[in-house]
């Protein structure tokens, strides 16, 4: 099989953070012992039944049992044979695990909108699969609303309409049943995403070894580090609100400012600003000055540290672009294309001279790539209408990935000064284009504004942000996304596979992957 070459084309930086959480929540304990049941991996089970691709509910599984497709089953996740026992059309969440792995981290949770209710979640220490047990409610009648294969049960209260969605991996847990009573326990929650958790497990082991003979509290020597992972950003906030985990490596939906206002983060300014013995710089001095404010709350104190930096945006298939001549040409001797968005010339062969690209310099890596929004639209239209190529694919399981394209376009259009102002709420005298209204033909009216903390709300009306979002709407209207991008069963890894294998063995040809 020919290996495809792909190249990052358009990206915007995204930061993840390390947080120290305030203490919350209570814990209970429990566990499971192996039993013999029929095992069924629902991800595989769904494949033959097209109608179940987007979402899979409890009712769907009950229908499968009633139709005799399966006699009984254990729902599985990540290859670990446990989630809930299913037999005779009834899901018994309290059944014991069939997995030989060790299940720990049962919890008690509460709902802020309703009275307390509890359920226990046991997490396999090897594969992070979970065992879920509903334990009842106090004062209200909680009913399962629906169960998606990619998420945990979602509950709705018959009395007050409050809802509650738990986390697959036990993220709201406040402790584990295998705590070492002779050591101080440090509980760490990691949003795995693309960086995984092997690095953190290794770091935890080194930390335990370094402080194996050190006492931090009376009667205890050494530290036990317990690491729990998730791929769901919302799990992070849920966990901070109710758990006893102390340290978070995450890229949450909320900003540091928002989490600070919610009272979920601890002030770590003393640690960040102090220059330790043997260090020539403090942690603060090692952080890029322009981004320090993103780690602070509204009181200018530190509540987070940079964790990793990722780049969200587009990756394009170089082989496909070369094979199908999808590069813009320099001059009028090449393939002329007239689209609804404008006209352009595309190369007809590898020997045609490409345009200078976005950097304005010939013979660099971006030669032939679009250098404006208009050219970007013309390219996508050319791919779809003339070459029968689908411009984009992305994960349907995580629809927010579509925002990766918006973020990248926004950053490209706005430039560094405006994007910095988004974090600092101050453009330092630089004028920013903001939309103030609309002409009759729906064209925006624009004024140039110097951003200060007093008028920083105007950044929400950034012209660059508007046009970046408009591109997404055009792409939707023009049918530029692959069919799988609309399927809830299409994970980010599925989208990556669809992109990498595009055009092979009759597969749909796809030009670009939206990734973050």
* pLDDT, tens only, 442-456: 789 999 999 999 999
> From start to end of 242-303, where are the E strands?
247-250
My answer on whether 147 and 219 are in the same domain is: no
My answer on whether 403 and 306 are in the same domain is: no
| β-pair partners for 39 | 74
Structural domain for 88, as ranges: 39-165
Q: Look at residue 362 and tell me if it is in a domain.
A: no
Q: Look at residue 372 and tell me if it is in a domain.
A: no
Q: What is the total count of domains within the chain?
A: 3
Q: Cα–Cα distance between 393 and 401 in angstroms, integer?
A: 10
My answer on whether 493 and 424 are in the same domain is: yes
Count of beta carbons in the 10 Å neighbourhood of residue 380: 24
Q: Look at residue 341 and tell me if it is in a domain.
A: no
113 vs 350, residue with greater confidence: 350
My answer on whether 261 and 192 are in the same domain is: yes
Q: Look at residue 377 and tell me if it is in a domain.
A: no
Residue with tokens 């990498």: 500
DSSP annotation string for 458-512? GGGGBHHHHHHHHHHHHHHHTT-B-GGGG-TT--HHHHHHHHHTTTGGGPPPEEE
In whole angstroms, how far apart are CA 89 and each of 2, 78, 152?
47, 24, 18
Listed residues 260, 279, 310: the one ending a domain: 310
pLDDT digit string (tens) for 253-295? 778 888 898 888 999 999 999 998 888 999 999 998 878 888 9
Is residue 158 over pLDDT 50? no
My answer on whether 460 and 319 are in the same domain is: yes
Is residue 181 over pLDDT 80? yes
Is residue 354 over pLDDT 50? yes
Is residue 459 over pLDDT 90? yes
| pTM for the model | 0.61
My answer on whether 58 and 206 are in the same domain is: no
Q: Look at residue 510 and tell me if it is in a domain.
A: yes
In whole angstroms, how far apart are CA 233 and each of 11, 139, 422, 464?
21, 30, 21, 26
Q: Write the Ramachandran bin of 399: left for phi over 0, alpha for psi from -120 to 50, otherwise beta.
A: alpha
Q: Look at residue 361 and tell me if it is in a domain.
A: no
């Amino acid at each position: 099989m020919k290996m495809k070459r792909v190249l990052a084309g358009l990206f915007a930086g995204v930061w993840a953070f390390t947080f120290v959480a305030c203490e919350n929540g209570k814990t209970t304990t429990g566990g499971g012992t192996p039993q013999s049941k029929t095992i069924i991996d629902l991800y595989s089970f769904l494949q033959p039944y097209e109608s179940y691709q987007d979402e899979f509910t409890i009712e769907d599984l009950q229908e499968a049992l009633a139709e005799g497709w399966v006699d009984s089953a254990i729902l599985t996740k990540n290859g670990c044979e446990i989630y809930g026992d299913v037999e005779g059309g009834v899901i018994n969440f309290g059944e014991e695990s069939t997995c030989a792995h060790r299940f720990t981290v049962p919890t008690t949770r509460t709902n802020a909108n309703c009275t307390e209710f509890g359920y226990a979640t046991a997490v396999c220490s090897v594969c992070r699969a979970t065992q879920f047990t509903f334990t009842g409610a106090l004062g209200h009648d909680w009913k399962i609303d629906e169960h998606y294969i990619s998420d945990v049960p979602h509950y709705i209260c018959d009395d007050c309409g409050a809802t509650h969605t738990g986390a697959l991996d036990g993220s709201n847990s406040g402790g584990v049943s295998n705590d070492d009573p002779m050591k101080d326990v440090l509980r760490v929650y990691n949003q795995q995403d693309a960086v995984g958790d092997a690095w953190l497990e290794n770091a935890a082991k080194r930390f335990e070894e370094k402080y194996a003979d050190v006492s931090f509290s009376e009667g205890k020597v050494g530290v036990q580090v317990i690491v729990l992972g998730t791929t769901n950003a919302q799990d992070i906030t849920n966990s901070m609100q109710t758990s006893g985990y102390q340290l978070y490596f995450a890229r949450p939906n909320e900003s540091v400012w928002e989490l600070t206002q919610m009272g979920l983060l601890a002030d770590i300014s003393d640690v960040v600003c102090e220059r330790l013995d043997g260090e020539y710089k403090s942690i603060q001095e090692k952080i890029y000055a322009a981004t320090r404010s993103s780690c602070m709350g509204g009181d200018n104190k530190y509540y987070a540290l940079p964790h990793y930096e990722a780049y969200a945006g587009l990756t394009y298939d170089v082989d496909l672009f070369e094979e199908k001549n999808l590069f813009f040409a320099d001059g009028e001797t090449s393939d002329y294309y007239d689209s609804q968005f404008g006209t352009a010339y595309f190369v007809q062969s590898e020997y045609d001279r490409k345009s200078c690209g976005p950097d304005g310099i010939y013979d660099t890596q971006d030669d032939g790539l679009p250098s404006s929004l208009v050219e970007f639209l013309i390219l996508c239209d050319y791919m779809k209408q003339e070459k029968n190529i689908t411009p984009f694919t992305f994960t349907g399981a995580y629809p927010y990935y579509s925002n990766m394209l918006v973020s990248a376009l926004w950053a490209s259009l706005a430039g560094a000064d405006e994007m910095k102002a988004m974090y600092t709420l101050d453009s330092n005298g630089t004028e920013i284009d903001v939309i103030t209204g609309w002409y009759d033909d729906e064209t925006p009216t624009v004024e140039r504004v110097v951003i200060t903390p007093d008028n920083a709300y105007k950044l929400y009306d950034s012209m660059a942000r508007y046009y970046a979002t408009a591109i997404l709407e055009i792409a939707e209207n023009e049918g530029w996304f692959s069919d799988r991008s609309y399927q809830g069963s299409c994970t980010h890894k599925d989208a990556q596979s669809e992109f990498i294998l595009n055009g092979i063995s009759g597969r749909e040809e796809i030009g670009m992957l939206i990734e973050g």
